[in-house]
Chain A
Amino acid sequence: MTIWIVLAAITLLVAGFILWPLVQKRPVSGNDAIPQDDTDIEIDHDLAVYRDQLSEIERDIERGVLSAEQANAARIEVQRRILNADQRIRSKSEHLPVIAKTSPLRTVSAIAVVVFLLGGLGLYLDLGRPDLPDRPIASRAEEIAAIQHAQSVNSDRIDVLNRAVSDLSQKLIQDPTNLKGWELLGASLMALGRPVEAQTAFLEAIKLSDRDGDYLAMYAESLIRGDNGQINATARGVLKEAATSNSTDPRIQYYLGLSDAQDGNIAAAVDRWIALVNDAPGDASWVPMVVARITDAALAQGIDIEGRLNVAKAPQMRGPSDQDVANAQQMTPEERQEMINSMVDGLAERLESEPNDPDGWARLMQAYMVLGKTDDAQNALKKASGVFADQPELVARFDALAKEIGIIAN
């Protein structure tokens, strides 16, 4: 509100200052006078210069720079300029229209100025962000504390993962045929953001499992992450092989779709993803992410997906009943917010007593992020990582999710 008062005050001040000469009843006397005969003023201005040039000549004579003869010639030249100026201005003023005391031009000009200023206000409404307050760093101590907290959470998590990697490596040196061990090592390395090292682990797992489709999918993902998200020929080959296996790992179809998209074939990608979502088990946590992808791609490319997505597969696991949703639509925004809050609180309470529910934790983190409660989301991440500290695979999953929804920075 204050800002509007200030902006209005600025506008009025500007308008008042500019238009002052127009609204004045009659010229005030003194230096600011607006003389009626402007021909005289113009001559005054020229005369001031030439008079000064004449006196300069006098000073030059005094200094002995000019002889009397030269000074005379110079004086005549300046006097001729004075005559010229006078003549020019007089002749010009004869052709001039007489200006009425109140000319319509003045009114039009005043209106134009006001219209311009209003136009400026309109442009500001379009470009400006009057709703955003200043955010000087001194006022953001709380945020800084939160970030520091998040960093400590993050470093705890990395400690857990690093320990897991070194333990697993030790075990695998003694028993290199431990298939599960290679898988865990690969997953931990992926969570630590070391996809190239994870590739070796997954390759071992593929060898030991006789090219099992699930391991092929994990390997493909590590290749893609190692190539900054690009699906290269190797990764595509691995994915195609995995697709012919009996693996139901959703990553296979997802990345094959992404590969289509990277080749420019968005329609094929959308087809593949829709099939993936429609075949997905009801409570798959990755469905919303893929649905979002589909919607984005469809919007960007103008592909009509109306009715193609299986509505029942909408991402509502153990969520509110249809009745709840129907009620929510009739609520005021405040009431709706309250209902969502109470549902989230319920979930958090349940997880306190029954922590062994990885999907529940994931949903809690997502819910907090949707509500904008980053701190709570970070706490949930920390707790979940603590509960499942002995299962690096799950920690890795939480980590990937946290990155995806923005709890921790990428």
Chain B
Amino acid sequence: MIVEIGHYALILSLVVALAQATLPFLAASRRDPVLLAVAPRLAITCFALVGTSFIALTYAYVTSDFSVLNVLSNSHTSKPMIYKITGVWANHEGSMLLWVMILTLFGGAVAAFGRNLPPSLLARVVGVMGLIAVGFILFIILTSNPFERVINPPLDGEGMNPLLQDPGIAIHPPFLYLGYVGFSVAFAFAVAALIEGRVDPAWARWVRPWTLAAWVFLTAGIGLGSWWAYYELGWGGWWFWDPVENASFMPWLAGTALLHSAIVVEKRDALKSWTIFLAILAFSFSLLGTFLVRSGALTSVHAFATDPTRGVFILFLLFIAVGGSLALYAWRAPTLKGGGLFQPISREGALVFNNVLLSIAAAMVLLGTLYPLLLETVTGEKISVGEPFFNATFVPIMTPVIIAMAFGPLMPWKRADLMGVFNKLRIALAATVVIVLITLWLSGGPAFALFGMGLATWLLVGSIIEWAGRIKLFREPFGTSLRRMRNLPRSAHGTMLAHAGVAIVVAGITGSQAWTDEAVQSLGIGESAHIADHTFTLSDIREYQGPNFVAREATITITTPGERTVILTPEKRVYTVEGMPTTEAGIQSSFTGDIYAVIGDQDESGKWITRFYVKPMIPWMWAGGLIMVFGGLMSLSDRRYRIGAPTRSQKSAAKAVPAE
């Protein structure tokens, strides 16, 4: 019965979404206060219903109810409980349900926390969210219904892709979806603003926390995804410019640009039209990503579905959403009045610079992702656009962004004195030179490593200088600085942390790319290999039986002169139900880098094929990502996003006293 309740709730959510996509627009254009009060209720109900159906599906997975086709095709009784739960979204139907649940979650959250919004704006935002929800719930019910039943269910299921049976991958889709579905809120605000014909600082402030939240989740999701690729795929790589990775990276680039341009709207009432455009763009990239992954246009570990009707359906949704919103934009954007003026050299100017380059970067990734697909469709020729293309385009575009990132926050609004700002950055320049020299002395190159380390230092020190300047560190007594630090708006801490996080990511990428040592060899038990001061010894091999796999576990002892001995236990597993092997790398992380070991098969001579890597600085990448996420959260908690709903009493007070 619970399964059928879930199915009913899903179908009911479709009709509620249909109401949500129509009534609020009517209410807003007629300005009927009673109908306006219905709008948020529709969004909340829609979430409650989709949530119910998601819980019902989860229940079916947890209890191994194979009368549900989706459970039968993707689960197995011998799977550990955590993967029964994560199995809900480790397949096409379930992951679409998660997608829609998160969409309606955001719709419901806007409705529930949107009391500070003018009711007609809130109604229109909710309405646009409803339109998107209708499209995707319809998609699920018509092409990918997870509640299809089996009348004579077999006694066990068909299992789940073992690559996905891993804690890292298990939690990354919810984060990723919270991220790129989160941009639907910014999209809805943008479309609502176009309909209302008003974009002003108040609008920018209302939309910002949602954009920021989406950005935080997307950053975390991308970080988790690359971390998973790093330790699970067993090649020591963490980013492959795989189209599916790009699909999450494009909205991130557009979203980062949006985050910055919205500041200009909020503070200076300028860049409105551009900001609206970015909001549409960010969510369009999310939809494009969903299309690429869900249509089966790409084959990868993520692409569960290869059903052409699904692809056509999402393509259709993509055209309606992107085409419709861009048409609306073309029609209404010219009516948006421009606001504050500014000089090219100013905070606004720096943010425009950042925006232009981030957009070009996103366009490059788009080109590199779609070009091979288009070429294959038109000529049938298969090409692979990989790392060389992206290194050649992405790095030159991002370098000026990173250089400018140190300048931006130091520049005042309206007009800035470039030399004055540069003077403040003298210490950063000095630190950069010192680090480059130290790097040269310690490693002797290569050139790109010197460049990357310099860039990272410049940005890290530059970000700290700006923050230190705000709290007058070393210029006032320490106690004063501490007090100033506490009084600093949290968004200022957030800026510093997010920028510093980028610097640390850059350092991590540079270090791991430049100085990784690796070796592949066959070792008998007791034999050793030497890599970069470390001695890797294959001490033992044993086999054991896991809950739903058999594993070969190697014990690798790593000794380094003057350091503690490290023992790693990489595994090679074969998942019995699915008959698929996976590698579980053994990794020892430390501040200076990772030691990484992979065990392979036996060769003809009975020795074991092993791969060892020494990867300096690679943990910095994920540490930097975490710092960025933390910076985003810090900024999100800034008090200015917590303005309560205006009440009658506040209003009379406001008329008497201009400031609180």
Cβ distance B565 to chain A, nearest Cβ, rounded Å: 46
Cβ contact within 8 Å between B5 and A88: no
- Interface size, chain A (Cβ < 8 Å): 76
B49–A2 contact, CB under 8 A?
no
CB 8 Å contact bits of A1-36 with B (1 = contact, 0 = none) = 011001100110010011111100000000101111
Which chain A residue shows the least CB distance to B7? A128
Residues of A within 8 A of B327 (CB): none
A109 contacts B26, C-beta separation under 8 Å: yes
Of A42, A51, A99, A112, which contacts B23 at CB under 8 A? A112
- Tell me whether A3 and B1 are in contact in the complex, defined as CB-CB below 8 angstroms, given that A112-B19, A134-B67 are known contacts: yes
List 28 A-B residue pairs with CB atoms under 8 Å apart, sorted by A's residue number.
A6-B1, A6-B5, A10-B5, A14-B16, A17-B44, A17-B45, A18-B16, A41-B118, A41-B119, A45-B116, A47-B651, A58-B659, A63-B488, A65-B470, A81-B200, A96-B31, A97-B30, A103-B30, A105-B35, A109-B38, A116-B18, A120-B8, A123-B11, A128-B11, A130-B4, A137-B66, A137-B77, A143-B155
Per-residue CB contact flags for chain B residues 21-37 toward chain A (1 = under 8 Å, else 0) read: 01100110011111111
Contact of B67 among A84, A88, A135 (CB under 8 A): A135
Shortest B160–chain A CB gap in Å is 16
B87 to A: closest C-beta gap in Å: 14
Q: Which of B306-314, B427-435, B641-649 contacts A (4 or more CB under 8 A)?
A: B641-649
Cβ-defined contact, B38 with A3, below 8 A: no
Q: How far is the CA of A35 from the CA of B32 in the complex (A)?
A: 11
User: How far is the CB of A38 from the nearest CB of chain B, in Å?
Assistant: 5
C-alpha gap A127/B15 in the complex (Å):
14
CB contacts (< 8 Å) of A124 on chain B: these are 7-8, 11-12
Interface residues in A139-169 by Cβ distance below 8 A to B read: 140, 143-144, 147
State whether the Cβ of B484 lies closer than 8 Å to any Cβ in chain A. Answer: yes
Our pick among B33, B119, B141, B643 for the contact of A48 (Cβ within 8 Å) is B643
Given contacts A6-B1, A14-B49, A49-B201, contact A20 B41 (CB under 8 A): yes
Q: Are A134 and B19 in contact (CB under 8 A)?
A: no
What is the interface size of chain B, counting residues whose CB is below 8 A from a CB of the partner?
80
Residue of B nearest to A148 (CB): B155
Query: Does B574 sit at the interface, judged by CB under 8 A?
Result: no
CB <8 Å contact, B646 and A34: no
A238 to chain B minimum Cβ distance, whole angstroms, is 37
A52 interfacial contact with B, CB 8 Å = yes
Separation in Å of the B214 CB from the closest CB of chain A? Answer: 21
Q: In this assembly, does B250 line the interface, its C-beta being within 8 Å of a C-beta of chain A?
A: no
Q: Which are the 9 A-B pairs with shortest beta-carbon distances?
A: A136-B63, A44-B646, A120-B15, A135-B67, A137-B64, A21-B37, A49-B202, A116-B15, A42-B118
- Chain B's closest residue to A132 (CB) is B149
- Residue contact A63 to B487, C-beta cutoff 8 Å: yes
Question: Is residue B145 contacting chain A, with contact meaning CB distance below 8 A?
Answer: yes
**Contact call B202/A117, Cβ cutoff below 8 A:** no
Flag if A17 contacts B659 (CB, 8 Å). no
Complex Cα distance, B3 from A14, in Å, reads 19
Binding site for A on B (CB under 8 A): 1-5, 7-9, 11-12, 14-16, 18-19, 22-23, 26-27, 30-38, 41-42, 44-45, 49, 52, 60, 63-67, 77, 116-120, 141, 145, 147, 149, 151, 153, 155, 198, 200-202, 205-206, 269, 340, 412, 470, 484, 487-489, 640, 643-648, 650-651, 654, 658-660
Question: Which residue on chain B has the smallest CB distance to residue A88?
Answer: B198
Q: Which residue of B lies closest to A64 (CB)?
A: B472
Q: How far is the CB of A195 from chain B (nearest CB, A)?
A: 25
How far apart are B66's CB and chain A's nearest CB, in angstroms? 7
Contacts of A144 in B (CB 8 A): 155
Q: How many A-B residue pairs have CB under 8 A?
A: 212
How far apart sit A120 and B7, CA to CA, in the bound complex (Å)? 11
Closest chain B residue to A119, Cβ basis: B15
- Pairwise interchain contact A109-B654, C-beta atoms closer than 8 A: no
B residues less than 8 Å from A3 (CB atoms):
1, 4-5
With the chains together, A81 CA to B269 CA distance in Å?
9
**A52 x B42 contact (CB < 8 A):** no
Known: A45-B646, A137-B64. A34 touches B484 (CB 8 A): no
Query: Which of B1, B3, B34, B201 touches A53 (beta carbons < 8 Å)?
Result: B201
- The yes or no answer to A56 lying at the interface (CB within 8 A) is yes
Output the least CB separation between A89 and chain B (Å): 9
How far does the Cβ of B505 sit from chain A's closest Cβ, in whole Å?
A: 29
A46 interface residue per 8 A CB criterion? yes
What is the minimal beta-carbon distance from B362 to any residue of chain A, in angstroms?
30
Contacts of B34 in A (CB 8 A): 21-22, 34, 106
Q: How far is the CA of A49 from the CA of B201 in the complex (A)?
A: 8
Tell me the bound Cα distance from A116 to B15 in angstroms: 6
Contact of A129 among B4, B31, B119, B488 (CB under 8 A): B4
CA distance A58 to B658 in the complex (A): 12
Extra A-B contacts (17), CB below 8 Å, given A47-B646, A47-B651, A120-B12: A11-B12, A22-B34, A22-B38, A41-B118, A42-B119, A48-B643, A48-B644, A53-B201, A88-B198, A105-B35, A127-B11, A127-B141, A132-B4, A132-B151, A135-B153, A136-B64, A137-B77
Nearest A residue to B653, CB-CB: A51
Nearest residue (CB) in B for A22 is B34
> CA of A260 to CA of B147 in the docked complex: distance in angstroms?
40
Does chain B have a CB within 8 A of A68? no
Q: Which of chain A's residues have a CB closer than 8 A to the CB of B484?
A: 63
Which of B202, B484, B647 is packed against the most chain A CB atoms within 10 Å?
B202
Report how far A293 CA is from B32 CA in the complex, Å. Answer: 65
Q: A10-B8, A14-B12 are in contact. Are A106 and B32 (CB under 8 A)?
A: yes
Give the interface centre of B12, B116, B198 by most chain A CB atoms within 10 Å: B12
A49 nearest in chain B by CB position: B202
**A136 touching B65, Cβ below 8 Å:** yes
User: 0/1 per residue, A82-117, Cβ < 8 Å to B?
Assistant: 001100100000001101000101100100110011
A88 CB to closest chain B CB, in angstroms? 7
Which residues of A lie under 8 Å from residue B19 when comparing CB positions?
A: 18, 112-113, 116
Q: How far is the CA of A132 from the CA of B145 in the complex (A)?
A: 16
| A40 touches B (CB below 8 Å) | yes
Q: CA separation between A291 and B145, bound complex, in Å?
A: 36
A138 CA / B250 CA spacing, docked (Å): 45
Q: Bound complex: CA of A120 vs CA of B14, how far in Å?
A: 8
**Which residues of B sit under 8 angstroms from A14, Cβ to Cβ?**
12, 16, 45, 49
Judge whether A133 is part of the interface by a CB distance below 8 angstroms: yes
Complex alpha-carbon distance, A266 and B118, angstroms: 69
Q: Is the CB of A34 within 8 A of B37?
A: yes
A318 to B238, CA, bound (A): 72
Shortest beta-carbon distance, B348 to chain A, in Å? 13
> Is B33 in contact with A134, judged by CB distance below 8 angstroms?
no
Are A116 and B35 in contact (CB-based, < 8 A)? no
Q: Return the contact of B200 from the options A7, A65, A85, A112 (Cβ within 8 A).
A: A85
Chain A residues contacting B120 (CB-CB under 8 Å) are 38, 42
Interface residue from B5, B63, B648 paired with A7 (Cβ < 8 Å): B5
Which residues from B are CB-within-8-Å of A388? none
Task: Note all chain B residues with C-beta closer than 8 A to A96.
Answer: 31
Q: How far is the CA of A33 from the CA of B42 in the complex (A)?
A: 18
- Which residues on B sit within 8 Å (CB–CB) of A50? 201-202
Q: Is A170 an interface residue (CB 8 A)?
A: no
Q: Nearest-CB distance from B122 to chain A (Å)?
A: 9
The answer to whether B4 and A135 touch across the interface, beta carbons within 8 angstroms, is no
Which residues from A are CB-within-8-Å of B22? 112
B14's nearest neighbour on chain A, judged by CB, is A120
Q: In the bound complex, how far is the Cα of B643 from the Cα of A117, in angstroms?
A: 36
- Interface status of A349 (Cβ within 8 A of chain B): no
Decide if B12 touches A134 in the complex (CB within 8 Å): no
- Contact partners of B64 in chain A: CB under 8 A: 136-137
Nearest chain A residue, comparing its CB with the CB of B267: A53
Select A77's contact among B32, B141, B340, beta carbons within 8 Å: B340
Complex Cα–Cα for A20 and B37 (A):
9
Once the chains are docked, how many angstroms separate the CA of A34 from the CA of B115? 12
* A342 lies within 8 A of chain B by Cβ: no
Within the complex, what minimum Cβ distance (angstroms) separates A204 from chain B? 38
Other-chain contact of A49, B44, B67, B205, B340 (Cβ < 8 Å): B205
Residues on B with beta carbons closer than 8 Å to the beta carbon of A135: 65-67, 153
